[in-house]
Amino acid sequence: MHPRNPHLSRYDFKQLTQSCPELGSHVFINKFGDESIDFANPASVKLLNQALLKSFYQIEWWDIPANYLCPPIPGRADYLHFVADLLATSNAQRIPKGKAVRVLDIGVGANCVYPLIGQHEYGWTFIGSDIDEGAIKSGANILAHNPKLKEHLELRLQPKPNAIFQGIIKPNELIDLSVCNPPFHASAQEAAAGSERKQKNLGLKKDVLNFGGKSHELWVEGGEKAFVLKMIKESVAVASQCLWFTTLVSKKENLPDLERALHQSKAFEVRILDMTQGQKVSRILAWTFQDDNQQKAWAKKRWI
Protein backbone atom coordinates (compact mmCIF):
# COMPACT_ATOMS: atom_id res chain seq x y z
CA MET A 1 0.00 0.00 0.00
CA HIS A 2 0.95 3.64 -0.40
CA PRO A 3 2.96 4.88 2.61
CA ARG A 4 0.41 7.66 3.31
CA ASN A 5 -2.49 5.22 3.37
CA PRO A 6 -3.81 5.21 6.97
CA HIS A 7 -4.95 1.60 6.53
CA LEU A 8 -1.47 0.08 6.34
CA SER A 9 -1.91 -1.94 9.51
CA ARG A 10 -4.61 -4.37 10.60
CA TYR A 11 -8.03 -2.99 11.48
CA ASP A 12 -8.16 -1.65 15.05
CA PHE A 13 -11.61 -2.92 15.95
CA LYS A 14 -11.51 -1.29 19.38
CA GLN A 15 -11.14 2.10 17.72
CA LEU A 16 -13.65 1.27 15.00
CA THR A 17 -16.34 0.10 17.40
CA GLN A 18 -15.97 3.34 19.31
CA SER A 19 -16.87 5.15 16.08
CA CYS A 20 -19.61 2.69 15.18
CA PRO A 21 -20.88 0.74 18.24
CA GLU A 22 -23.15 -1.42 16.05
CA LEU A 23 -20.03 -2.99 14.57
CA GLY A 24 -19.15 -4.48 17.95
CA SER A 25 -21.71 -7.28 17.72
CA HIS A 26 -20.13 -8.38 14.42
CA VAL A 27 -16.57 -8.65 15.75
CA PHE A 28 -15.21 -12.06 16.79
CA ILE A 29 -11.88 -13.78 17.39
CA ASN A 30 -10.80 -15.74 14.31
CA LYS A 31 -8.79 -18.95 14.20
CA PHE A 32 -5.54 -16.97 14.29
CA GLY A 33 -6.53 -15.32 17.57
CA ASP A 34 -7.16 -11.92 15.95
CA GLU A 35 -10.26 -9.75 16.02
CA SER A 36 -12.12 -9.81 12.71
CA ILE A 37 -15.57 -9.72 11.12
CA ASP A 38 -17.36 -12.11 8.80
CA PHE A 39 -16.47 -10.66 5.40
CA ALA A 40 -19.12 -12.98 3.95
CA ASN A 41 -21.79 -10.98 5.77
CA PRO A 42 -22.97 -7.91 3.78
CA ALA A 43 -24.22 -6.19 6.94
CA SER A 44 -20.83 -6.60 8.62
CA VAL A 45 -18.98 -5.20 5.61
CA LYS A 46 -21.24 -2.15 5.41
CA LEU A 47 -20.83 -1.46 9.13
CA LEU A 48 -17.06 -1.76 8.73
CA ASN A 49 -17.18 0.87 5.98
CA GLN A 50 -19.31 3.14 8.13
CA ALA A 51 -16.81 2.80 10.97
CA LEU A 52 -13.79 3.43 8.73
CA LEU A 53 -15.35 6.49 7.11
CA LYS A 54 -16.30 7.97 10.48
CA SER A 55 -13.08 7.09 12.30
CA PHE A 56 -10.58 8.09 9.60
CA TYR A 57 -12.47 10.61 7.44
CA GLN A 58 -14.97 12.25 9.83
CA ILE A 59 -18.00 11.16 7.78
CA GLU A 60 -20.78 11.27 10.36
CA TRP A 61 -23.35 9.40 8.27
CA TRP A 62 -22.94 7.00 5.37
CA ASP A 63 -25.23 4.40 3.86
CA ILE A 64 -26.06 2.89 0.48
CA PRO A 65 -29.20 1.21 -0.88
CA ALA A 66 -29.35 -2.57 -1.15
CA ASN A 67 -27.54 -4.18 -4.09
CA TYR A 68 -25.20 -1.25 -4.80
CA LEU A 69 -21.42 -1.62 -4.71
CA CYS A 70 -19.92 -1.44 -1.22
CA PRO A 71 -16.25 -0.77 -1.98
CA PRO A 72 -13.24 -1.65 0.17
CA ILE A 73 -12.06 1.62 1.72
CA PRO A 74 -8.28 0.87 1.90
CA GLY A 75 -8.03 0.24 -1.85
CA ARG A 76 -9.95 3.39 -2.74
CA ALA A 77 -7.69 5.42 -0.45
CA ASP A 78 -4.63 3.88 -2.08
CA TYR A 79 -5.74 5.02 -5.55
CA LEU A 80 -6.16 8.62 -4.38
CA HIS A 81 -2.77 8.77 -2.67
CA PHE A 82 -1.04 7.47 -5.80
CA VAL A 83 -2.75 10.00 -8.08
CA ALA A 84 -1.97 12.78 -5.59
CA ASP A 85 1.69 11.96 -6.20
CA LEU A 86 0.96 12.01 -9.93
CA LEU A 87 -0.37 15.58 -9.70
CA ALA A 88 2.76 16.51 -7.77
CA THR A 89 4.89 15.59 -10.81
CA SER A 90 3.22 18.49 -12.63
CA ASN A 91 3.73 20.82 -9.67
CA ALA A 92 7.45 20.73 -8.77
CA GLN A 93 6.84 17.61 -6.64
CA ARG A 94 4.33 19.38 -4.39
CA ILE A 95 0.93 17.75 -3.96
CA PRO A 96 -1.72 20.37 -4.78
CA LYS A 97 -4.34 20.68 -2.07
CA GLY A 98 -7.53 22.61 -1.51
CA LYS A 99 -10.72 23.50 -3.35
CA ALA A 100 -8.89 24.68 -6.45
CA VAL A 101 -8.14 21.05 -7.37
CA ARG A 102 -11.10 19.58 -9.27
CA VAL A 103 -11.43 15.84 -9.74
CA LEU A 104 -13.92 14.01 -11.94
CA ASP A 105 -15.02 10.65 -10.51
CA ILE A 106 -16.39 8.63 -13.43
CA GLY A 107 -18.99 6.26 -12.02
CA VAL A 108 -19.17 7.80 -8.55
CA GLY A 109 -21.69 5.15 -7.55
CA ALA A 110 -24.12 5.21 -4.66
CA ASN A 111 -21.22 5.20 -2.18
CA CYS A 112 -19.31 8.40 -3.18
CA VAL A 113 -16.22 6.97 -1.49
CA TYR A 114 -13.58 8.67 -3.67
CA PRO A 115 -14.96 12.18 -3.01
CA LEU A 116 -15.37 11.47 0.71
CA ILE A 117 -11.75 10.35 1.07
CA GLY A 118 -10.28 12.91 -1.33
CA GLN A 119 -11.98 15.84 0.35
CA HIS A 120 -10.72 14.83 3.78
CA GLU A 121 -7.17 13.93 2.77
CA TYR A 122 -6.46 16.75 0.31
CA GLY A 123 -9.37 19.21 0.41
CA TRP A 124 -10.14 18.55 -3.27
CA THR A 125 -13.49 19.25 -4.90
CA PHE A 126 -15.17 16.55 -6.98
CA ILE A 127 -17.62 16.10 -9.80
CA GLY A 128 -19.27 12.70 -9.46
CA SER A 129 -20.88 11.32 -12.61
CA ASP A 130 -23.03 8.23 -13.00
CA ILE A 131 -25.54 6.79 -15.46
CA ASP A 132 -27.73 5.49 -12.64
CA GLU A 133 -30.35 7.81 -11.13
CA GLY A 134 -30.46 5.70 -7.97
CA ALA A 135 -26.74 6.21 -7.45
CA ILE A 136 -27.09 9.97 -7.85
CA LYS A 137 -30.00 10.03 -5.38
CA SER A 138 -27.96 8.00 -2.88
CA GLY A 139 -25.06 10.43 -3.25
CA ALA A 140 -27.41 13.36 -2.66
CA ASN A 141 -28.63 11.61 0.50
CA ILE A 142 -25.06 11.25 1.77
CA LEU A 143 -24.49 14.95 1.13
CA ALA A 144 -27.73 15.85 2.92
CA HIS A 145 -26.47 14.07 6.04
CA ASN A 146 -22.99 15.62 5.77
CA PRO A 147 -23.64 19.31 4.93
CA LYS A 148 -19.97 20.32 5.10
CA LEU A 149 -19.33 18.15 2.03
CA LYS A 150 -21.83 19.94 -0.22
CA GLU A 151 -19.31 22.49 -1.48
CA HIS A 152 -16.85 19.70 -2.28
CA LEU A 153 -19.02 17.44 -4.43
CA GLU A 154 -21.29 18.10 -7.40
CA LEU A 155 -23.27 15.12 -8.68
CA ARG A 156 -24.05 14.90 -12.40
CA LEU A 157 -26.27 12.33 -14.08
CA GLN A 158 -24.70 11.11 -17.32
CA PRO A 159 -27.40 11.75 -19.98
CA LYS A 160 -25.72 9.41 -22.49
CA PRO A 161 -25.42 5.89 -21.03
CA ASN A 162 -22.76 4.90 -23.55
CA ALA A 163 -20.65 8.05 -23.06
CA ILE A 164 -17.97 8.81 -20.50
CA PHE A 165 -16.75 12.41 -20.78
CA GLN A 166 -19.36 13.58 -23.30
CA GLY A 167 -22.25 15.27 -21.57
CA ILE A 168 -20.34 15.57 -18.29
CA ILE A 169 -17.40 17.92 -18.87
CA LYS A 170 -18.90 21.28 -19.84
CA PRO A 171 -17.45 23.56 -22.53
CA ASN A 172 -14.42 25.48 -21.23
CA GLU A 173 -14.56 23.61 -17.90
CA LEU A 174 -11.16 22.56 -16.52
CA ILE A 175 -10.57 19.32 -14.62
CA ASP A 176 -7.25 18.59 -12.95
CA LEU A 177 -7.72 14.83 -12.66
CA SER A 178 -10.17 12.10 -13.59
CA VAL A 179 -10.46 8.83 -11.65
CA CYS A 180 -12.38 5.69 -12.53
CA ASN A 181 -13.04 2.11 -11.49
CA PRO A 182 -14.32 0.68 -14.78
CA PRO A 183 -16.71 -2.29 -14.94
CA PHE A 184 -14.55 -5.39 -14.75
CA HIS A 185 -16.53 -8.07 -16.62
CA ALA A 186 -17.51 -8.36 -20.29
CA SER A 187 -20.99 -9.84 -19.83
CA ALA A 188 -23.65 -10.62 -17.26
CA GLN A 189 -22.68 -14.30 -17.49
CA GLU A 190 -19.03 -13.52 -16.78
CA ALA A 191 -20.02 -11.29 -13.86
CA ALA A 192 -22.23 -14.07 -12.47
CA ALA A 193 -19.40 -16.60 -12.77
CA GLY A 194 -17.04 -14.18 -11.02
CA SER A 195 -19.60 -13.63 -8.28
CA GLU A 196 -19.98 -17.38 -7.77
CA ARG A 197 -16.20 -17.75 -7.39
CA LYS A 198 -16.13 -14.94 -4.84
CA GLN A 199 -19.08 -16.45 -3.00
CA LYS A 200 -17.34 -19.82 -2.82
CA ASN A 201 -14.05 -18.31 -1.63
CA LEU A 202 -15.79 -16.28 1.06
CA GLY A 203 -18.19 -19.01 2.12
CA LEU A 204 -21.21 -17.08 0.92
CA LYS A 205 -24.53 -18.61 0.07
CA LYS A 206 -25.57 -18.41 -3.57
CA ASP A 207 -26.86 -15.01 -4.74
CA VAL A 208 -25.43 -13.17 -1.72
CA LEU A 209 -22.56 -10.76 -2.30
CA ASN A 210 -20.83 -8.86 0.46
CA PHE A 211 -19.67 -6.05 -1.83
CA GLY A 212 -22.84 -6.00 -3.97
CA GLY A 213 -22.97 -4.14 -7.25
CA LYS A 214 -25.56 -3.20 -9.84
CA SER A 215 -25.17 -4.65 -13.34
CA HIS A 216 -23.59 -1.49 -14.80
CA GLU A 217 -21.08 -1.44 -11.94
CA LEU A 218 -19.96 -5.00 -12.63
CA TRP A 219 -19.98 -5.48 -16.39
CA VAL A 220 -20.01 -3.70 -19.74
CA GLU A 221 -20.00 -5.11 -23.25
CA GLY A 222 -16.38 -5.81 -24.15
CA GLY A 223 -15.31 -5.63 -20.51
CA GLU A 224 -12.74 -3.42 -18.89
CA LYS A 225 -10.61 -3.07 -22.02
CA ALA A 226 -13.49 -1.86 -24.19
CA PHE A 227 -14.53 0.66 -21.54
CA VAL A 228 -11.04 2.11 -21.16
CA LEU A 229 -10.52 2.21 -24.94
CA LYS A 230 -13.68 4.30 -25.19
CA MET A 231 -12.38 6.49 -22.39
CA ILE A 232 -9.13 7.04 -24.28
CA LYS A 233 -10.98 7.91 -27.49
CA GLU A 234 -13.23 10.41 -25.72
CA SER A 235 -10.34 11.93 -23.80
CA VAL A 236 -8.90 13.27 -27.06
CA ALA A 237 -11.89 15.60 -27.45
CA VAL A 238 -11.29 17.11 -23.99
CA ALA A 239 -7.49 16.84 -24.07
CA SER A 240 -7.01 20.53 -23.24
CA GLN A 241 -9.62 20.48 -20.43
CA CYS A 242 -8.14 17.77 -18.20
CA LEU A 243 -4.55 17.60 -16.99
CA TRP A 244 -4.35 13.90 -16.04
CA PHE A 245 -6.74 11.13 -17.03
CA THR A 246 -6.52 7.99 -14.89
CA THR A 247 -8.30 4.68 -14.53
CA LEU A 248 -7.86 1.45 -12.63
CA VAL A 249 -6.82 -1.49 -14.82
CA SER A 250 -7.37 -4.83 -13.10
CA LYS A 251 -6.26 -7.11 -15.92
CA LYS A 252 -2.57 -6.71 -16.73
CA GLU A 253 -3.06 -8.37 -20.12
CA ASN A 254 -5.15 -5.37 -21.23
CA LEU A 255 -2.28 -2.91 -20.87
CA PRO A 256 -0.49 -3.43 -24.24
CA ASP A 257 -3.63 -2.62 -26.26
CA LEU A 258 -4.43 0.34 -24.04
CA GLU A 259 -0.91 1.74 -24.28
CA ARG A 260 -1.03 1.28 -28.07
CA ALA A 261 -4.29 3.24 -28.22
CA LEU A 262 -2.78 6.04 -26.17
CA HIS A 263 0.23 6.22 -28.47
CA GLN A 264 -2.08 6.43 -31.48
CA SER A 265 -4.06 9.15 -29.72
CA LYS A 266 -0.83 11.13 -29.32
CA ALA A 267 -0.84 11.28 -25.54
CA PHE A 268 2.28 13.16 -24.47
CA GLU A 269 2.97 10.99 -21.43
CA VAL A 270 1.66 7.61 -20.23
CA ARG A 271 2.31 6.16 -16.79
CA ILE A 272 1.46 2.88 -15.10
CA LEU A 273 1.28 3.07 -11.32
CA ASP A 274 1.40 -0.31 -9.58
CA MET A 275 -0.68 -0.83 -6.44
CA THR A 276 -0.33 -3.82 -4.12
CA GLN A 277 -2.77 -4.68 -1.35
CA GLY A 278 -1.83 -7.95 0.29
CA GLN A 279 -1.67 -10.53 -2.49
CA LYS A 280 -3.80 -8.43 -4.82
CA VAL A 281 -1.93 -6.46 -7.50
CA SER A 282 -3.63 -3.85 -9.66
CA ARG A 283 -2.48 -0.78 -11.49
CA ILE A 284 -3.51 2.73 -12.44
CA LEU A 285 -3.18 3.77 -16.07
CA ALA A 286 -2.55 7.52 -16.36
CA TRP A 287 -2.09 9.77 -19.37
CA THR A 288 -1.86 13.43 -20.27
CA PHE A 289 -1.83 15.39 -23.51
CA GLN A 290 0.00 18.31 -21.88
CA ASP A 291 3.75 18.64 -22.42
CA ASP A 292 6.10 19.60 -19.58
CA ASN A 293 5.78 23.33 -20.13
CA GLN A 294 2.00 23.12 -20.38
CA GLN A 295 1.86 21.12 -17.15
CA LYS A 296 3.92 23.74 -15.33
CA ALA A 297 1.73 26.52 -16.71
CA TRP A 298 -1.40 24.61 -15.67
CA ALA A 299 -0.13 24.21 -12.12
CA LYS A 300 0.95 27.85 -11.86
CA LYS A 301 -2.42 29.10 -13.09
CA ARG A 302 -4.63 26.83 -10.98
CA TRP A 303 -2.78 25.79 -7.85
CA ILE A 304 -0.12 28.35 -6.98
Mean pLDDT of 97-117: 97
Is residue 201's pLDDT more than 80?
Answer: no
Specify if 81 maps to a domain.
yes
Question: Which pLDDT tens digit goes with each residue over 36-46?
Answer: 999 989 999 99
Half-sphere exposure of 277 (CA within 13 A, CB side): 16
- The pLDDT assigned to 213 comes to 53
CATH number of the domain that residue 245 is part of: 3.40.50.150
- Residues spanned by the domain of 71: 63-302
Specify if 2 maps to a domain.
no
Specify if 16 maps to a domain.
no
Q: How many residues does the chain have?
A: 304
Q: What whole-number distance in Å separates Cα of residue 12 and Cα of residue 36?
A: 9
Q: Are 249 and 284 in contact (CB under 8 A)?
A: yes
Q: What is the domain count for the chain? A: 1
Q: What whole-number distance in Å separates Cα of residue 201 and Cα of residue 47?
A: 21
- Pinpoint the alpha helices (H) of 24-72: 42-57
| Residue 144 burial class via C-beta count within 10 angstroms: exposed 0-12, middle 13-18, buried 19 and up | exposed
Specify if 13 maps to a domain.
no
Specify if 42 maps to a domain.
no
Question: Which pLDDT tens digit goes with each residue over 125-144?
Answer: 999 999 999 999 999 999 99
Specify if 108 maps to a domain.
yes
- The pLDDT assigned to 280 comes to 82
Q: What is the dihedral of CA 214, 216, 219, 225, to 10 degrees?
A: -140
Specify if 28 maps to a domain.
no
